[in-house]
Amino acid sequence: MKEETYKQYTVLAILAIAVAAAAAFLARRRK
């Protein structure tokens, strides 16, 4: 596995977690 691919997946994972956290935050805020 190349380092470049590993870095890309790491960035995508961080972005996915950030989006999920933001969605959960907004969902709680609506209530």
Which residue's structure tokens are 């969605």? 23
Mind listing the pLDDT tens digit for each residue in 1-31? 688 999 999 999 999 999 999 999 999 998 7
Per-residue confidence (pLDDT) for residue 1, from 0 to 100: 64
Element housing 21 (H / E): helix 3-30
Element housing 1 (H / E): none
Q: What is the rounded distance in angstroms from the CA atom of residue 22 to the CA atom of residue 30?
A: 12
Per-residue confidence (pLDDT) for residue 30, from 0 to 100: 85
Q: What is the rounded distance in angstroms from the CA atom of residue 7 to the CA atom of residue 19?
A: 18
Element housing 3 (H / E): helix 3-30
Q: How do the domains of the chain map onto residue ranges?
A: 1-31
